[in-house]
Structure 1
Amino acid sequence: MIDWIRIILSLFAIFLTTLALAPLQILALYFDWPLRRRLPRLWHRVSCRMLGLRIHSHGVLDTRRPLMIAANHASWKDILVLGALADVVFIAKTEVAAWPVFGTLAKLQKTIFVVREEKRRTGDQVNEIAARMSDGEVVVLFPEGTTSDGNRVLATKSSLFGAAAAALGDDPDAVVHVQPVSIAFTRVQGMPMGRYHRSIAGWPGDVTMLPHLVGVLKAAAIDVDVTFGEAVEYRRGESRKLLAATIESRLRAMLLVHLRGRYKRTDEA
């Protein structure tokens, strides 16, 4: 009974935060105020705290621009975690826009929606991503193209790095910085996360949202280690396949360090 009271109160707090911030975010989007980039971070931080996600960050976000973050992807919680650490914009499949609640929240953050199945629209979508990066926004890409079980990094898709190439523009000396960021769900209530709790970390496509959300809330305290790796400089004429392979290798190495408990925590968001 106590668990359900806590769950209800947590969801109510997130609801109130959304109710308070949404009108201001709508105005910020309409008038294109810089505030539109900062408000979502506040919402994500509150949501993480209410859901019991304790974030431990290692390293720093690269200060150079244009910048693309390439992160491993286990579940919807990755978005909350990254959104709580930095002012970022996400790339999502177009179906997300129609999802109840989450679609509205994604639109309020000015998420870039892409239709992967329609190749004729790929050029326009890539150009939009490139334009946002050139404008100084930090774009988050999940190069695996889908969610994993949280125990590994899936093969990255080099085609998804097309936006990095487009962001180079016409300048032959231009550089786009692609920073690998690993997200590792490592502990539940202070104890190492074993296989029994891995379902809380990952979100397979065949699991419905509500039961998964309840499982996260019941866990009450989940530690997440986020590592900002060294950015890769990408220039005109360089291989996207090599870029994808380099990012995949670095993500896998950083993730395994935390899953195996070999990293000493020094910072908590």
Structure 2
Amino acid sequence: MRAWLVIVPVVLVTLVGLPFQWLSVALGLPTRRTIPMLYHRIVLALVGVRVRAVGAPAPARPLLLVANHSSWLDIPVLGSRLPLCFVAKSEVARWPGIGLLARLQRTIFVDRTSRTATGRVAGEMAARMGDGDPVVLFAEGTSSDGNRVLPFRSALIGAARQSLGDEDGSAATIQPLAIAYVGLSGLPLGRAGRPRLAWYGDMDLAPHLMEVLRRGGVEVELRFGAPLAAGGRKVAAQEAEKSVRTMLAQALTGRPG
């Protein structure tokens, strides 16, 4: 019952917001950035998700946020905090409904089967960042169970820097970001329970979505790390992974940053 009490208003809010966001994107209006942020905040309130942040996004631009990834909830959680763009696999663009929402969020899609995709995607990332939009890169290239950080891939980090004319990282700011699911229904979320919120592997989206909507009471902690020092793409990926891994462990164990 609770799931449908959430789904119906979310669908109504979506239908009301779609034409305004479509027009904003088509005309390049400033509201193309603010409408998604308002939408994500409404969705989180309806689903029952509380977000707290430790630290803050770096004020410098261009800004690339390099984060871990464990759930579809990561999108509204991050989208509710500041105007930004995501990098997602090309398959997402073909998902019914979700693909349309992703395009209206101005998501950058990457075809992981194409050898020439990295340069094109990096160019799009550079254009967005150059226009003042922070870009979120889920650097693992997939999602995990929420208890760990998978190895970061360096290709897009390096290509984005190079496309900005920034091979040594002196112009673009790269900031690590950890997303931690720490509570559910008013109780701390332990290692065994965290995969209930994670969407990974070959899990079907619809059953997982309904289960989260039935429960509500999700608590998420975002930890923003210090921007990385200048360096090559492999060094940047390694340092970002190390920072995110440390911050995730701190968040999951309740330790201060």
Same fold at TM > 0.5: yes
Task: Say whether the 8 Å CA contact 2:84–2:135 is kept in structure 1.
Answer: yes
Q: TM-score, normalised by structure 1?
A: 0.91
User: Partner of 2:17 in structure 1?
Assistant: 21
Cα 1:50–1:172 change in 2 (3 A) is: closer
- Please, what is the CA RMSD of the aligned residues? 1.8
Structure 1: which 4+ aligned runs deviate by more than 4 Å? 170-174
Long gaps (5+) in structure 2:
none
Cα 1:8–1:135 change in 2 (3 A) is: same
Q: How many residues matched?
A: 257
Distance in 1 of aligned mates of 2:166 and 2:127: 13
User: Partner of 1:209 in structure 2?
Assistant: 205
Amino acid at match of 2:228: V
Where do 1:219-258 residues align within 5 Å? 219-234=215-230, 238-258=231-251
Task: Say whether the 8 Å CA contact 1:152–1:252 is kept in structure 2.
Answer: yes
User: Partner of 2:164 in structure 1?
Assistant: 168
Distance in 1 of aligned mates of 2:167 and 2:70: 36
Distance in 1 of aligned mates of 2:190 and 2:170: 45
User: Partner of 1:260 in structure 2?
Assistant: 253
**Paired residue secondary structure (1:205):** coil
Cα 1:242–1:191 change in 2 (3 A) is: same
Where do 1:169-208 residues align within 5 Å? 169=165, 174-208=170-204
Cα 1:233–1:28 change in 2 (3 A) is: farther
User: Partner of 1:125 in structure 2?
Assistant: 121
CA deviation profile, 1:61-119 (whole Å, cap 9, x unmatched) = 11100000001100111111000111110001111000011101001111111112111
Amino acid at match of 1:205: G
Amino acid at match of 1:216: V
Cα 1:80–1:170 change in 2 (3 A) is: closer
Distance in 1 of aligned mates of 2:117 and 2:20: 32
CA deviation profile, 1:147-193 (whole Å, cap 9, x unmatched) = 00000111101112134313432799951101111110001112111
Match of 1:79 among 63, 75, 78: 75
Percent sequence identity is 43
Amino acid at match of 1:250: S
Of 185-194 and 246-255, the range deviating more from structure 2: 185-194
| 1:107 has 2:140 as partner | no
**Paired residue secondary structure (2:116):** helix
Distance in 1 of aligned mates of 2:116 and 2:169: 29
State the Cα distance separating 1:196 from its structure 2 match.
Answer: 4.1
Distance in 1 of aligned mates of 2:86 and 2:158: 15
User: Partner of 2:37 in structure 1?
Assistant: 41
Task: Say whether the 8 Å CA contact 1:94–1:114 is kept in structure 2.
Answer: yes
Cα 1:97–1:11 change in 2 (3 A) is: same
User: Partner of 1:267 in structure 2?
Assistant: none
Task: Say whether the 8 Å CA contact 1:134–1:167 is kept in structure 2.
Answer: no
State the Cα distance separating 1:197 from its structure 2 match.
Answer: 2.2
Distance in 1 of aligned mates of 2:254 and 2:168: 43
Task: Say whether the 8 Å CA contact 1:90–1:140 is kept in structure 2.
Answer: yes
